[in-house]
Amino acid sequence: MAELIDGKAIAQEVRDEVREQVAAWVAAGHEPPGLATILVGDDPASAVYVGGKQKASAEAGIRGFDHRLGADAQHEEVRALLHQLNEDPEVNGILLQLPTPPQVDGAALTEEINPAKDVDGLTPISVGLLAKGRPGLRPCTPLGILELLRRHDVQLEGAEAVVVGRSDLVGKPVAALLLAANATVTVCHSRTQDLRAVCRRADILVAAVGVVDLIKGEWIKSGAVVIDVGMNRADGKPTGDVEFEAARDRARLITPVPGGVGPMTIAMLMRNTLEAAKAAAR
């Protein structure tokens, strides 16, 4: 039976490390890193996400700039704030919480974030740097997945990795990171023929789909490492994309939902913010 990958504990380790590194950075005479969040409107889930990021920043010694605009804020008003933050030397990372209300084009505004402050790693410049294998800020959830694999000493070089899902947020960047680590990567999506056969080849299987139990336990290669990114609800409970119990019988390592990939995202956001501050000082 597979060992569980404890994302909660690993995320805490990363956050503790970032806190120590921030303290050392400040002790060396630098300004603390700064993370600005922009929340437009009053979507309760978005408010919880932003609150979590601000709380994590405070715990890490990162200065938080918590910008909240009303649901009737206009596109140009949000854009002006974003450009002001782009220029502000105290701000090293900028997050525009999505979704935004319909009159604000959140996707277009995200592309206007200064790439040096793009701690979500989602601007075209950051995506291009990742595709080219050049240094840059990487998306947080995919970075968190790589961190879980590294902390469990999972051999990536030469491994057969299968990523199910090709979103800009998770699937594509995690595939690029695995490729950069010299895995042999296959990316599956809704038009993939015979998903079962592809998954059965995987030494490392990353499921980032958003469909409860799409990946069947019997599709898991014996001894595989299974990373379940799905955050779904079934019978009122958080549930991933993988048939957990059946997969656990065959896998070597597996992430639970909740407590697997989920907690890593904020931890890697903290690390990205510190990296952005260090790069800005160079």
* CB atoms near residue 99 (< 10 Å): 13
Active site residue 16: no
Q: Footprint of ligand NAP on residues 247-276 (CB under 6 A)?
A: 261-262, 265
Give the nearest distance from C-beta 110 to ligand NAP in angstroms. 14
Active site residue 132: no
C-beta of 81 vs 170, nearer to ligand NAP: 170
Q: Footprint of ligand NAP on residues 125-184 (CB under 6 A)?
A: 141, 164-167, 169-171
Active site residue 97: yes
State the amino acid at position 19 in one-letter form. Answer: R
Give the nearest distance from C-beta 76 to ligand NAP in angstroms. 28
C-beta of 53 vs 63, nearer to ligand NAP: 53
* Residue 29: Cβ-neighbour burial (10 angstroms; 0-12, 13-18, 19+): exposed
- Pick from 125, 131, 231, 246 the residue near ligand NAP by CB under 6 A: 231
- Pick from 46, 184, 186, 232 the residue near ligand NAP by CB under 6 A: 232
Provide the mask over 187-226, with x wherever binding to ligand NAP is found by CB under 6 A and - wherever it is not: -xxxxx--x------------xxxx--x------------
Count residues near ligand NAP (CB under 6 A): 26
Long-range contacts of 186-189 (CB under 8 A, 24+ apart): 186/160, 186/161, 186/162, 187/162, 187/163, 188/162, 188/163, 188/164, 189/164, 189/165
What is the rounded CA–CA span in Å between residue 143 and residue 184?
18
Give the nearest distance from C-beta 135 to ligand NAP in angstroms. 23
What is the rounded CA–CA span in Å between residue 85 and residue 96?
11
What is the rounded CA–CA span in Å between residue 119 and residue 108?
16
C-beta of 38 vs 122, nearer to ligand NAP: 122
**Assigned token pair, 54:** 């601000």
**Which among 266, 262, 265, 213 is positioned nearest to 239, based on CA atoms?**
213
Considering only CA atoms, give the Rg of the chain. 19
Give the nearest distance from C-beta 195 to ligand NAP in angstroms. 6
C-beta of 210 vs 217, nearer to ligand NAP: 210
Give the nearest distance from C-beta 156 to ligand NAP in angstroms. 20
Query: Which of 6, 118, 120, 203 is the catalytic position?
Result: 120
C-beta of 109 vs 140, nearer to ligand NAP: 140
At a CB cut-off of 8 Å and minimum separation 6, what does 172 contact? 166, 187
* CB atoms near residue 9 (< 10 Å): 11
Residues paired with 164 in a beta bridge: 188, 207
**Assigned token pair, 113:** 């974030």
Query: Which of 6, 21, 53, 221 is the catalytic position?
Result: 53
Give the nearest distance from C-beta 45 to ligand NAP in angstroms. 11
What is the rounded CA–CA span in Å between residue 27 and residue 31?
9
C-beta of 110 vs 114, nearer to ligand NAP: 110
Q: Catalytic amino acids?
A: 53, 97, 120
Interface with ligand NAP (CB under 6 A): 141, 164-167, 169-171, 188-192, 195, 208-211, 214, 229-232, 261-262, 265
